[in-house]
């Protein structure tokens, strides 16, 4: 059977060579589209390193001197008022944890960066490292986890002691090799390039991603204790799951009577579900448009390849009739035609894979984990492309072949 297939392909080399070229081009384009979709989906599904479920952001306002209820407060008194507001919220039965932070919560459009350097070593960070300045309970609100199994409660204790927490990939992106921060727990680090004082590393965190569409490899961060307070800072709370019903309206109803302290009051309460949607709406729209374009290309490729094999099979009615006249069953004819199409696909696949490799090596596809060339990703996407093309070929051959096999062999041969 195999010898006959190779002989037939060789005898019809003129038509087969053009078909092989078409399959090669389609295979490469299919791989590129599959690779782009794979990167977007794989990035979205990566662990986020935080949990915003049942979390809310409470925005604070401050009375101005024009208000009849305004009282003059010193900076220390303003600090105390803000801490008192957080403490009162902490004592609510429906709230599990409360934190204050500066440009630190998930899905934050504003942030700062930091330089981290190992004391007594040249090891230091370059490029963007997000700094998160927080009160200790921040890691409880957003449920950060340590690489060595440290719980949010244990991490909060470390921050309370003045220790820092860093993402496990803090130095990996800088030196382009795995450098787990667990090896440096207990060591001291300089921050902001200040070599006059140092801080101790308490734990290495599971990577905290910047957003749903920012890969973990690009999300490097450092968390340290917040020592100053302002009304524009982030007051975030985690609500107990069993009490997370109409929480926003409940807090607003109590805001004037219980949460007006000095000049500080609650101005707004927002769910992180809404914050996440709003901050990423533009990315959602762009991603939806990209997927729509790629889906359109896939449909066109499918129809083009389907049409090619449909037409090719339709032109071979006499050959099908001849096989049946010599005693071949419908199943045997179908298997032969299908095997011929799949064999052509199999022949061009190594060459297509070589082209895919060179495109990835030349960085002409999507970036992920700091590179465009990952062997597992390359083979997975090539395998998906192969399977989709094999399915297209099966449909393009199967439907017209079954229709042709219903024609009486004598009638088909007479027409020829």
Residues 46-62: tens digit of each pLDDT = 999 999 999 999 999 99
Written as six digits, the tokens of 323 are 């096989």
Written as six digits, the tokens of 172 are 């990996």
Q: Measured between alpha carbons, how far is residue 399 from residues 16, 305, 322, 385, 394 in Å?
A: 21, 14, 19, 21, 8
Residues 6 or more apart in contact with residue 400 via CB below 8 angstroms: 310, 313, 314
Round to whole Å and give the CA distance between 223 and 221: 7
H/E element, 153: helix 152-160
Choose among 367, 323, 392: nearest CA to 27: 392
- Taking only the tens place, the pLDDT of each residue in 348-399 is 999 999 999 999 999 998 888 778 899 999 999 999 999 988 988 888 777 7
Q: Is the pLDDT of residue 67 over 60?
A: yes
Better-predicted residue by pLDDT, 407 or 224: 224
Q: Is the pLDDT of residue 287 over 80?
A: yes
The model's confidence at residue 127, banded by pLDDT at 50, 70 and 90, is: confident
Better-predicted residue by pLDDT, 85 or 297: 85
- Per DSSP, which regions of 105-207 are E strands? 112-113, 116-118, 130-134, 164-167, 188-191, 194-205
* Total residue count of the chain as it appears in this document: 416
Q: In the chain, what percentage of residues exceed pLDDT 90?
A: 57
Are the beta carbons of 138 and 146 closer than 8 angstroms?
Answer: no
State the DSSP code for 263.
T
Average pLDDT over residues 15-38: 87
Average pLDDT over residues 336-355: 88
Choose among 339, 345, 380: nearest CA to 1: 339
- Taking only the tens place, the pLDDT of each residue in 180-200 is 899 999 999 999 989 999 999
Are the beta carbons of 162 and 199 closer than 8 angstroms?
Answer: yes
Q: Is the pLDDT of residue 233 over 60?
A: yes
For Cα atoms 135, 121, 216, give the angle at the middle one, nearest 5 degrees.
50
What are all long-range contacts of 379-386, with beta carbons under 8 Å and residues at least 24 apart? 380/38, 381/31, 381/34, 381/35, 381/38, 381/356, 382/31, 382/349, 382/352, 382/353, 382/356, 384/34, 384/38, 385/27, 385/30, 385/31, 385/34, 385/352, 386/27, 386/345, 386/349
Residue keyed to tokens 């308490």 = 202
Written as six digits, the tokens of 231 are 């009304």
H/E element, 102: strand 95-102
pTM over 0.85: no
Dihedral class, residue 256 (left if φ above 0, else alpha if ψ from -120 to 50, else beta): alpha
Better-predicted residue by pLDDT, 154 or 11: 154
Q: Is the pLDDT of residue 123 over 70?
A: yes
H/E element, 84: helix 75-90
Mean pLDDT rounded to a whole number for the chain: 87
The backbone torsions φ and ψ at residue 200, rounded to the nearest 5 degrees and listed phi first, read -90, 140
Which residues pair with residue 166 across a beta bridge?
Answer: 204, 222
Residues 6 or more apart in contact with residue 221 via CB below 8 angstroms: 129, 130, 131, 132, 166, 167, 170, 205, 208, 210
Better-predicted residue by pLDDT, 73 or 335: 73
Written as six digits, the tokens of 205 are 């965190």
Average pLDDT over residues 250-272: 93
The model's confidence at residue 407, banded by pLDDT at 50, 70 and 90, is: low
Written as six digits, the tokens of 131 are 């700094």
Better-predicted residue by pLDDT, 300 or 49: 49
Round to whole Å and give the CA distance between 269 and 267: 7
pLDDT at 412: 47
Q: Is the pLDDT of residue 207 over 90?
A: yes
Are the beta carbons of 206 and 51 closer than 8 angstroms?
Answer: no
Q: Is the pLDDT of residue 413 over 60?
A: no
């Amino acid at each position: 059977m195999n010898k006959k297939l190779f002989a037939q392909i060789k005898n019809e080399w003129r038509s087969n060579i053009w078909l092989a070229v078409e399959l090669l081009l389609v295979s490469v384009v299919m791989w590129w589209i599959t690779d782009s979709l794979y990167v977007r989906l794989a990035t979205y599904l990566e662990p986020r390193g935080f949990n915003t479920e049942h979390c809310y952001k409470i925005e604070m306002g401050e009375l101005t001197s024009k208000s009849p209820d305004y009282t003059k407060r010193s900076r220390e008194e303003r600090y105390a008022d803000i801490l008192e507001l957080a403490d009162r919220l902490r004592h609510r039965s429906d709230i599990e944890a409360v934190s204050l932070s500066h440009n630190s919560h998930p899905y934050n459009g504003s942030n700062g960066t930091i330089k981290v350097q190992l004391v007594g070593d040249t090891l230091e960070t370059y490029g963007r490292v997000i700094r998160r300045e927080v009160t200790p309970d921040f890691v409880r609100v957003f449920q950060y986890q340590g690489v060595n199994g440290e719980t949010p409660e244990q991490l909060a204790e470390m921050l309370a002691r003045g220790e820092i927490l860093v993402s496990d990939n803090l130095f990996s992106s800088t030196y382009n090799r795995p450098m787990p921060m667990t090896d440096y727990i207990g060591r001291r680090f300089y921050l902001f390039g200040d070599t006059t004082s140092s801080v101790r590393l308490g734990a290495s965190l599971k990577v905290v991603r910047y957003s749903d569409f920012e890969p973990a490899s690009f999300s490097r961060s450092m968390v340290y204790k917040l020592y100053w307070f302002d009304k524009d800072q982030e007051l975030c709370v985690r609500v107990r799951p069993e009490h997370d019903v109409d929480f926003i309206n409940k807090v607003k109803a109590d805001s004037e009577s219980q949460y007006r302290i000095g000049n500080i009051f609650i101005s707004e309460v927002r769910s992180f579900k809404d914050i996440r949607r709003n901050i990423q709406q533009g990315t959602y729209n762009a991603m939806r448009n990209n997927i729509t374009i790629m889906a359109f290309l896939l449909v066109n490729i499918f129809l083009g390849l389907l049409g090619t094999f449909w037409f090719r099979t339709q032109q071979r009615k006499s050959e099908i009739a001849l096989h049946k006249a010599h005693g071949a069953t419908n199943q045997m004819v179908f298997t032969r035609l299908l095997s011929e199409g799949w064999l052509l696909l199999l022949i061009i696949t190594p060459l297509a894979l070589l082209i895919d490799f060179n495109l990835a090596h030349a960085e002409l596809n999507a970036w992920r984990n700091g590179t465009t060339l990952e062997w597992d990703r390359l083979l997975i996407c090539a395998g998906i492309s192969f399977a989709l093309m094999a399915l297209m070929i099966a449909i393009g051959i199967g439907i017209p072949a079954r229709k042709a096999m219903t024609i009486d062999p004598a009638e088909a041969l007479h027409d020829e």
